[in-house]
Amino acid sequence: MRIFNSTVGRKLLMSISGQLLIIFVLIHLAGNSTIYFGWINAYAEHLHSMPPVVWVFRAIMLAIVGTHICYGVLLTLENKAANPTNYAVKRQLKASFASENMIWTGLLLAAFIVYHLLQFTAKMTPDVAWTSNQAVVDVFKMVVTSFSNAGIVVVYALAMVMLFLHLSHGIPSFLQTMGWNNDKTIPVYGTAGKVISAFLMLAYISIPATILVGLLKL
């Protein structure tokens, strides 16, 4: 199959999986924001009242993340192989820290996702150990308790900085890979990528930060 083997085809798979991940990031943010309205327990209960839906959704997410990581690693290795020798002097004109470190910001995000799932989904990290003897886990209490720990909040904040870097290149990049670009839109997308990813970073960080400073409490 052309799409799986060719250089442009694989980039399309990266782009489409990346777009689906962005949609997930947006929906997840909307879901998390229910904490400000006191609805997070109702939201969590609602989600878990339909186990088959939850498992199908998890399988799809795993396939998307798997595709994105596999091709991300493969493309990066091929790119290093295509440019094996460095210049003694190199002046970068346009490439940015964000665009050159997609693989690292991406892999750090993957590590964060594993930690995040172990914590709030599998409830295996020490900060949530207390939930093991609860019949029904109070999600609001769990989140507020964990985010009262400054160390945990710092980890989340750093992960969101990675998300900012990954998407500040990822957003303009996926638009270009899809071919939805021309001379007028190129600079607009560059700015939009930074603005949207900064918004996502700040919006996500706002929840643990609000809890840590005590504005949102049990």
Compute the least distance from the CB of residue 104 to other proteins, in Å.
Answer: 13
76 near ligand HEM (CB under 6 A): yes
Compute the least distance from the CB of residue 105 to other proteins, in Å.
Answer: 13
Which of 117, 119, 160 lies closest to 143 in space, CA to CA? Answer: 119
Which of 166, 212, 180 lies closest to 69 in space, CA to CA? Answer: 166
Per the structure block, which two tokens stand in for 82?
């295509």
Inter-axis angle of helices 7-33 and 185-212, nearest 10: 40
Instruction: Work out which of 13, 21, 144, 201 binds ligand HEM, going by CB under 6 A.
Output: 21
Tell me whether residue 33 or residue 76 sits nearer to other proteins (CB atom): 76
172 near ligand HEM (CB under 6 A): no
Q: 17 Cβ partners below 8 Å, 6+ apart? A: 64, 65, 67, 68, 71
8 near other proteins (CB under 8 A): yes
Instruction: Work out which of 182, 214, 217, 218 binds other proteins, going by CB under 8 A.
Output: 182
47 near ligand HEM (CB under 6 A): no
Compute the least distance from the CB of residue 99 to other proteins, in Å.
Answer: 5
191 near other proteins (CB under 8 A): no
Helices (H), 34-130: 40-48, 51-82, 97-100, 102-116
Burial 178-189 (b: 16+ CB within 10 A, else e): eeeeeeeeeeeb
13 near ligand HEM (CB under 6 A): no
The site for other proteins (CB under 8 A) is made up of 2-3, 6-12, 75, 78-79, 81-96, 99-100, 102, 169, 172-173, 176-183, 186
